[in-house]
Amino acid sequence: MLKGIPEIISPDLLKILDEMGHGDDLVIGDSNYPAASNAKRLVRADGQNVPDMLDAILSLFPLDTFVEKPVTLMQVVKGDPTVPEVQDRIRAVVRKHDQRGDAAIGTTERFEFYERAKQAYAIVATTEHGAYGCVILKKGVIH
């Protein structure tokens, strides 16, 4: 038993967060994201949504301060009328944990997101139902 570890963080995820190094990427995927086929290391977080998982992770995980946008969201595909409300909740969590707020968040096109995510250290697969609820985090250092 440990103190201060959010209960949403499984032992497997805690190990991965600890072994990641500066500049490594972590993906938190929604329920539509092809996590199993893209992951070098996969952590299942069934029953969890992306904003809650992000909040728990960012309570332990420093975002990279040496890059302009250490948080990356997936852009809505051109012509898709979806309004990704989950991204507003993701932005609120980032503002809570990083003084740069929205300035720390970038976006990238869907297939560019997939290619970058394939190179990530690990992918956390949630059951988030909000469309475009995927996020990539770049790990920083503790100062």
Active site annotation includes 129: no
Q: Which residues of the chain are under the pLDDT cut of 70? A: none
Going by their DSSP bridges, the two strands 71-74 and 135-138 should be labelled as antiparallel
Q: Which of 115, 95, 117, 93 is nearest to 41 (CA)?
A: 117
Predicted structure pTM score: 0.96
* CATH for 24-138 (1.20.1440.230, 3.10.310.10, 3.40.1650.10, 2.40.270.10): 3.40.1650.10
- Cβ 57 vs Cβ 9: under 8 Å: yes
Domain ranges of the chain: 24-138
Tell me what pLDDT residue 38 has.
96
Tell me what pLDDT residue 112 has.
98
Single out the catalytic residue among 22, 97, 129, 143.
Answer: 22
Residue 33, exposed/middle/buried by CB under 10 A (0-12, 13-18, 19+)? buried
Tell me what pLDDT residue 2 has.
82
